[in-house]
Chains A and B, each alone.
Chain A
Amino acid sequence: MNLLEVHQLCKTYGSGDNAVKALKNVSFSVPKGEYVAIVGESGSGKSTLLNMIGALDTPTSGKVMIDGKNIFSMNDRKLTLFRRRNIGFIFQAFNLVPELTVEQNIIFPLLLDYQKPNRKYLEELLAVLNLKERRNHLPSQLSGGQQQRVAIGRALITRPSLILADEPTGNLDSQNSREVIALLKESSKKYEQTIIMITHNRSIAQAADRVLQVSDGVLSDFGRCRE
């Protein structure tokens, strides 16, 4: 069963002579639990595609279905709730809340929902992310790798069905990059989560179940790596 279905997605910035087509009729689907890497040159439209899938931006035309729901048919409030509960985001620049501790940053989406975290799951996450000792530290007291692990924890805490990662290893050294990717893969397997990740790193892309390439707004499916 497909978790994500993208139909004829187009995004045009500007109009008339200044119009720039960032995405041109992009269509693809991703089954539940698959780990997909999106590669492409800078400015090719990868981030635009990821932002559309995450409902952070609206397309000029086309549809994005997550779990059978057309996300662009929802109003802003419903969409925010949907994003909060069903999609986990990981950014290159971590984008943690600087005023919150590691633990508070991880449970942030739950706090926004006025819910209490499942302590057992939180402890498990902290252990997997190797952040138990750092749970009361502020982001500014952590290394880049540790900050990205916190961001991963934040993306996993609501057990979303879809995780979107925009160059999560872009600011990390090779050791930290390997650890972060291993964590994401482990989580994908353990909780049956779908991961869509933009990366420039060839070896990371090769480790994915499937690789999509975006070039000048056109998507090509490189197929499943293990096949």
Chain B
Amino acid sequence: MRSYLSLVPISAKVHRRQNRMTLLCIIFAVFMVTAVFSMAEMGMRMEQARLMEKHGNLSFLDLIGSAMGQSLLGIAVVLFLLILLAGVLMISSSINSSVAQRTKFFGMMRCIGMSRQQIIRFVRLEALNWCKAAIPIGLAGGVVITWGLCAVLRFLVGKEFSTIPLFGVSLFGIICGIFVGIITVLIAASSPAKRASKVSPVTAVSGNAEDKKTIHHSASGRFVRIETALGIHHAVSSKKNLILMTGSFALSIILFLSFSVMIRFVNYLMPQSAAASDLDISSGNSSKAISADLIEKIQAMPGVKVVYGRRSDFDVSAVWQGKTSYSDSLDLISYDDFDLKCLKTDGVLKSGSDLSKVYGDSRYVLATSDQDSPWKIGDHIQIGEESLEIAGLLKYDPFSSNGLTEGKMTLITSSETFVRLTGTTEYSLVMIQLTSDATDENVRAIQLAVGDEYSFHDQREQRTAGTYAAFVFCVYSFLAIIALVTVLNIINSLSMSVSARIKQYGAMRAVGMDERQLIKMIAVEAFTYAFWGCAAGVIVGLPLNKWLYEILITEHFPYALWHLPLTSLIVILLMVFFAAASAVYGPAKRIRSMAVTAAINEL
């Protein structure tokens, strides 16, 4: 041994099991930052290649200055800060517990002459020692996952991603990964290091000395059972620990609520309708409408999955609820059964709508709407001699550019109702969905069958399903990693908390606490953290969710209104419950196999 610091790797070897989770936290932080920045650089390189092809000369700096470069960098920086914060919270709570557990060790070190400064140096070096193993693993993981994601984008999504580099290594991503690893650990270790340096040498020789500083209030067992009271007290007695645990739970919830807005945003940006067509045939500029025979003809052609059409009649005179002042004309559009069914599949109908009434020759219709439209389900509309009832409302107006009705009602009827009302049997728009194995020859054959009298649009290139899937995959992967890190952190912290109190638990067992009561006590501790984490996460996360929704979605899609994200909240509650329950599992197993005498005699 050259100096007292040579103890660091020896101690790391002895405490390998306890340090495993802390290592995982560092690995995840480094991995995520490397992956995020590497992906951002790969995206930029792809954009650079595309622009070079288009404009000729373009430097990397020009690209960073471009709008796309700025937005990619912006997203990466925000993610970097969030990961840094998550990493600091999680690693800090790990180191904190590890220091609390070794109070006697630090007391003994002080006893035999280690100065406060040396203790601080010891704890910091111990934390940095973890980086030695964690950073290379995190970097390797980050680079490999970047390759994997690039391959998925290039080969599975294709199209705009077909030029993304396959085995690119981002130096920028690697530097950021190393930086985040070291900085996170140094920030996280600073407070526990100071705490360790304050341990009094007397702690090494006295029995209950370490409890003096932390416990100021007794656990109240007046209203709840003693094991519940003690569990709550264990969770809330150390403010710092409570803040760290609550913070890491809350941060995950905040990230979850923020990222769920991103998914909603993409839903609005690239709506994935079940009725999205691959080929469109419209009457175009010619006044000639499309005959129903053409639909039957195309339906029988190879490569065709489904053909459906829409008829339209604009500015039809109508009276709504006896009032003509609000809107004296409306648009009438017919949907085939497949199209109507897709409205329900896509979830564009407001609650209370009854689509089943609209099918076939009926007196029921659907109407477009927005937050300002006064008509509602059950209202009657008079068209000529016919009185129609609104059986359902669409959440927005799919026929306007901004989704708002601007006071103009559009009625959607079934094909049969439309023919009865207008007498028109011919279509203004025919849409075709192709089978997955449809070839270009199949498409050319359809185009030939349509002829030149109608406009033919090949929409296959416009479909965004691949990009949408890639984006949603990335967001969910990020969320899954965040959730995983939270779960691991809670498991780790609770396990350390149990280790720190194992002697106390042994004494409790000796004086008559049974296994069930002991496990309940630990479960209550875990669920107390989970409760406060949920409360803090929801209190901060919901306004953030609303704010992000308004600036990202409502600003661009005025018909989209923020609602309480109930599904996200339920998912969060389930995730938190799962995290807390899995955190209890390990300690419960340990307690079941705990020898009471060994626990009492443990130093």
Contacts and interface: CB of A to CB of B under 8 A. Distances in A.
Given A57-B597, A99-B237, A140 B215 contact: yes
A56 B511 contact: no
A137 B442 CA distance: 87
B549 to A, nearest CB: 44
B310 interface: no
Given A56-B596, A108-B511, A100 B211 contact: no
Given A84-B511, A98-B504, A99-B237, A108 B211 contact: no
A108 B226 contact: yes
Given A56-B597, A95-B504, A104 B208 contact: no
Nearest to A113: B512
Interface stretch (B110-118, B217-225, B277-285, B488-496): B217-225
Contacts of B215: 98-99, 138, 140
B263 to A, nearest CB: 44
B234 interface: yes
Interface stretch (B332-340, B432-440, B513-521): B513-521
Nearest to B513: A112
A47 B596 CA distance: 13
Nearest to B596: A56
Given A95-B503, A112-B513, A136-B218, 18 more contacts: A56-B510, A80-B513, A84-B511, A89-B511, A91-B600, A95-B504, A97-B508, A98-B208, A98-B504, A99-B218, A100-B219, A104-B219, A109-B512, A112-B511, A112-B512, A114-B225, A140-B208, A140-B215
Interface residues of A, number: 37
B514 A77 contact: yes
A85 B208 contact: no
Contact of A85 (B225, B230, B512, B513): B512
Given A56-B510, A99-B230, A100-B219, A51 B597 contact: yes
A76 B517 CA distance: 13
B568 to A, nearest CB: 37
A80 B512 contact: yes
A33 interface: no
B231 to A, nearest CB: 10
Interface in A19-56: 47, 51, 54, 56
Nearest to B211: A98
Nearest to B226: A111
A52 to B, nearest CB: 9
Contacts of A109: 511-512
A122 interface: no
A128 interface: no
Interface in B107-151: none
22 contacts: A51-B596, A51-B597, A56-B596, A56-B600, A76-B514, A80-B512, A84-B513, A85-B512, A91-B507, A91-B600, A93-B207, A97-B230, A98-B215, A99-B215, A99-B218, A100-B219, A104-B219, A108-B226, A111-B221, A111-B226, A112-B514, A140-B215
Interface string A59-91: 000000000000000001100110111000101
Contacts of B227: 112
A126 interface: no
A225 B490 CA distance: 57
A139 B211 contact: yes
Contacts of B508: 97
Contacts of B202: none
Given A77-B514, A80-B514, A84-B512, A101 B208 contact: no
Interface centre among B215, B233, B595 (most CB of A within 10 A): B215
A105 B503 CA distance: 16
B502 to A, nearest CB: 12
Given A91-B600, A104-B218, A54 B510 contact: yes
B323 interface: no
Given A95-B504, A95-B507, A99-B237, A81 B596 contact: no
B509 interface: yes
Nearest to B232: A99
Nearest to B598: A57
B13 interface: no
Interface string B21-60: 0000000000000000000000000000000000000000
Interface in A94-136: 94-101, 104, 108-109, 111-114, 136
Contact of B207 (A51, A57, A94): A94
Contacts of A112: 226-227, 511-514, 517
Nearest to B237: A99
Interface string A172-201: 000000000000000000000000000000
B212 interface: yes
A57 B218 contact: no
A169 interface: no
A51 B507 CA distance: 12
A112 B509 CA distance: 10
Contacts of B597: 47, 51, 56-57
Contacts of B510: 54, 56, 83, 89, 91, 95
A97 B208 contact: no
Nearest to B510: A89
Contacts of B225: 111, 114
B212 A140 contact: yes
Given A57-B595, A77-B514, A80-B509, A97 B504 contact: yes
Interface in B151-182: none
Interface centre among A81, A95, A147 (most CB of B within 10 A): A95
Interface in B186-239: 207-208, 211-212, 215, 218-219, 221, 225-227, 230, 233-234, 237
